[in-house]
Amino acid sequence: MATFAELWESLLPIGRDADTGGYFRHAWTEPELRCRAWFAHQAERRGMAVERDGNGNLFAWWPAGKGQAVLTGSHFDSVPGGGAFDGPLGIVSAFAAVDLLRAEGFEPVHPIGVAAFAEEEGARFGVSCLGSRLLAGEIDPDKARSLTDPSGTTFAEAVSSDLGQEALEAFQIGRDDDLLGRIGCFVELHVEQGRALDVPVGVAGAIWPHGRWKLEFAGRGDHAGSTRLEDRHDPMQPFAHAVIAAREAAERHGSRATVGRVLALPGGTNVIASHVTAWLDARGPGDEVVRATVAEIRERVSLAAAFHGVEFGLTPESYTPLVDFDPDLRKRILSALGEVPVLPTAAGHDAGILAARLPTAMLFVRNPTGVSHAPEEHATEADCLAGVAALAAVLRDLAGG
């Protein structure tokens, strides 16, 4: 069976931009469909049964043992221009851990599953962890069906492009209690996305509350030259205030607020924009801190919009409250791994969503750059192998009876 390095290398080129080294694996686009095909191939080579749920999530089951499964895995999809490790490291490590257990002759008492959750980054349809939210019943299926990507394609159209329309109708988009009932716990391995881990492997303590809000500014398109300043209704002005207000509010409240995506229409160099849409990402150590941060930003931007005669709207797109991972599962993992650091994260994960339905936990693999959601994101092969060994130890313990 392939080594970790061979497995890793076989996935690495898919969706990678040759110029920047960043990844473009948006859900149900050609690169991510190739990742799905890679998943099915790896499962089939291992005699693992592949299952798709109606939400577009993939599962590979090691058909042995009985009772509830121990599930591991992560996601393939990336942010635009993201790193190689965020998501895929958890899936490749899962198959490598299965290989390691099989090589030692391990026979699971409970089934072991590997998952690839759909649209974790929300980079195509705007809602993070869309596949795991649907599975867990954390988002209304009708809302999900109608989500559209920037080209106007709906989530339902995208899923049916992979499943087929009839399959989509046959499948139950949304909460799947039968599938959830087959899973005893979920342990996700993920590259660390900050600078807090200075040993190869750590365990997650909690996930900060975090959410996304859409900011919409409606002004009046006009000529960039002949329109006097006093006659302008320029939506870019209150938008600019929003970027600064986010940073200042975050400093004041001890949170993290970011505006990293904006769309100015019509987008002419010599045109005053008529509409601006932007997205706010806000997170913090507690729900109250996030709420206060967003409230301050809303207030300051409303004043700026009124001053410039621009209409302003702020609408929530997704929110995940504080996730404290299952303490008993974490304790059992720490006993299997020995003394490794327990650290919080401000990054969202499918494990954070599924925590509402079943015991979940996370393993982190050191990222010496501390950078994520960018091509510089990195983990050394030695640390990745330490991650595989740790995941195998956890699976051996949890699935071994």
Which positions lie near ligand HGY, rule CB under 6 A?
Answer: 120-121, 128, 347-348
Amino acid at 100: L
- Cα angle 27, 30, 33; round to 5: 60
Residue whose CB is less far from ligand HGY, 348 or 359? 348
Considering CB distances under 5 to 8 angstroms, the limit depending on partner class, which of Mn ion, ligand HGY, none binds residue 293?
A: none
Among ligand HGY, Mn ion, none, what does residue 348 contact (CB within 5–8 Å per kind)? ligand HGY
CB of 16 to Mn ion, least distance (A): 16
The smaller minimum CB distance to ligand HGY, of residues 84 and 398, is found at 84
Cis amide bond preceding 266, omega within 30: yes
Which residues touch 200 (CB under 8 Å, ≥6 apart)? 365, 366, 382, 383, 386, 387
Cβ 49 to ligand HGY shortest distance, Å: 28
Cβ-based nearer residue to ligand HGY, 242 or 347: 347
H or E element that contains 262 = strand 256-265
Nearer to Mn ion, 31 or 111 (CB): 31
Q: Of the two residues 77 and 383, which places its CB atom closer to ligand HGY in the complex?
A: 77
SS3 category, 127:
coil
Partner touching 392 among Mn ion, ligand HGY, none, CB below 5 to 8 Å by kind = none
Pick one of ligand HGY, Mn ion, none as the site partner of residue 87 (Cβ within 5 to 8 A by kind): Mn ion
Q: How far is the CB of 121 from Mn ion (least distance, A)?
A: 5
- Minimum distance from CB of 130 to Mn ion (Å)? 13
* Residue 372: CB minimum distance to ligand HGY, A: 7
71 binds, among ligand HGY, Mn ion, none (CB under 5 to 8 A by kind): none
Do strands 360-365 and 201-207 pair parallel, antiparallel, or not at all (unpaired)?
antiparallel
Q: CB-wise, 99 or 281, nearer to ligand HGY?
A: 281
Distance CA 276, CA 258 (A): 16
Least separation in angstroms between CB 254 and ligand HGY: 18
User: Where on the chain is the footprint of Mn ion (CB under 5 A)?
Assistant: 86-87
Residue 214's nearest CA partner among 348, 122, 80 is 122
| H helices, E strands: number in the chain | 13, 15
Sign of the four-CA dihedral 163, 168, 174, 177: negative
Taking the least distance from each CB to ligand HGY, the nearer of 100 and 191 is 191
Helix (H, G, I), strand (E, B) or coil at 178: helix
From first CA to last CA, the distance across the chain in angstroms is 26
- Minimum separation from the CB atom of position 384 to Mn ion (A): 15
Strand-pair category, 69-75 with 58-62: unpaired
